[in-house]
Amino acid sequence: MVVLSVLGQGGVAPDNPFAGKPLFSDPGSKAATAANAARVSGDEADADTFGKIAAVPTAVWLVPEKHPIGKVGPYVSDIVSQAENMGQMPVFVVYGIPNRDCGNFSGGGLTPEEYPEWVSEIASSLAGKSSVVILEPDALALAHECANVDERLGEINASVDTLVPSGATIYIDAGHSNWGPAADMADLLNRAGVAKVRGFSTNVSNYNTTDREIEYASTISGLTGGAHFVIDTGRNGNGSNGEWCNPSGRALGTTPTPAQSGSAQDADLWIKPPGESDGTCNGGPAAGEWWDKGARELATGAGW
């Protein structure tokens, strides 16, 4: 069954930021565009499958290659206005940190001089509105590999200080359970300013089972003063086979829903949009581009 919104239900703590707040489904998403294209071409099977994916609330990614300085603010404002008009709350992913992904499939990002300006423009457009921000997937988890730990910590801290006054609910990304010890990630989060925000996110763009991520995230929470967390469940229905880039045999996971009270977990979310490629690997297109074959496989794996 597809859950089209996150609702405050029995057992959800009243201070959970997702309680009673339906999440935004972007009518202009790549899944929605693919569904429309399939319908026009007469492919009702794909239109139905992609349409079901599009109907599930999924995070909106902000990347400087698509939404540069001067354009990201109006784009965020438009999404916020659409969501407000529909009585929904948008989830944004801020993904533009310098030396992003160490120059791999999603490499690039902004220069150290541009990045603060870009984040400030996003923050100004979120001010006073209900929203969630997932801050810089993989940035901390890759910091040692990218050999820029101190710079990363400074950039995340500065972004936190810029975004917090907007009133957005912020989660700093914490990689995933297969990446490294929870204690090491907790140390990075503490140094990055997790105490100033709601908490952290895990499993973004990855495939690990929810149970595995809860164990990992709960350990981190205990080492970060009880920081709350959200888990990306968009593509983890069959768990991970050890690959991160367009692995075969995966499935859509649990649709967005708030966690029960008594836990540091706030919600399961679809953060990485299912159907969008991880990169030019295993037959996929460039990172972030829609991939019909990948979307079909995820839906089939979940019994959709």
44 is in an annotated binding site: no
272 is in an annotated binding site: yes
State the Cα–Cα distance between residues 94 and 71, nearest whole angstrom: 14
CB 199 within 8 A of CB 221: yes
From 46, 232, 268, 278, active-site residue: 278
Q: Which residues contact 225 (CB under 8 A, 6 or more apart)?
A: 194, 195
Q: Is the pLDDT of residue 4 over 50?
A: no
Which one, of 258, 73, 59, lies nearest residue 173 by Cα? 59
CB 171 within 8 A of CB 197: yes
Respond yes or no: is residue 138 known to be catalytic.
yes
Which domains, and CATH codes, for the chain? Answer: 30-301 (3.20.20.40)
Which one, of 103, 46, 94, lies nearest residue 287 by Cα? 103
pLDDT score recorded for residue 102: 83
pLDDT score recorded for residue 5: 41
260 or 221, greater pLDDT: 221
Which one, of 133, 136, 66, 135, lies nearest residue 100 by Cα? 136
* pLDDT tens digits, 48-64: 999 999 999 999 999 99
Respond yes or no: is residue 292 known to be catalytic.
no
179 is in an annotated binding site: yes
From 26, 46, 101, 173, active-site residue: 101
176 is in an annotated binding site: yes
From 26, 46, 138, 173, active-site residue: 138
pLDDT confidence bin for 101, thresholds 50/70/90: confident
* pLDDT tens digits, 110-124: 999 999 999 999 999
Q: Is the pLDDT of residue 105 over 90?
A: no
Q: How many CB atoms lie within 10 A of CB 169?
A: 21
pLDDT score recorded for residue 259: 95
State the Cα–Cα distance between residues 22 and 88, nearest whole angstrom: 5
State the Cα–Cα distance between residues 31 and 44, nearest whole angstrom: 14
pLDDT score recorded for residue 13: 85
244 is in an annotated binding site: yes
118 is in an annotated binding site: no
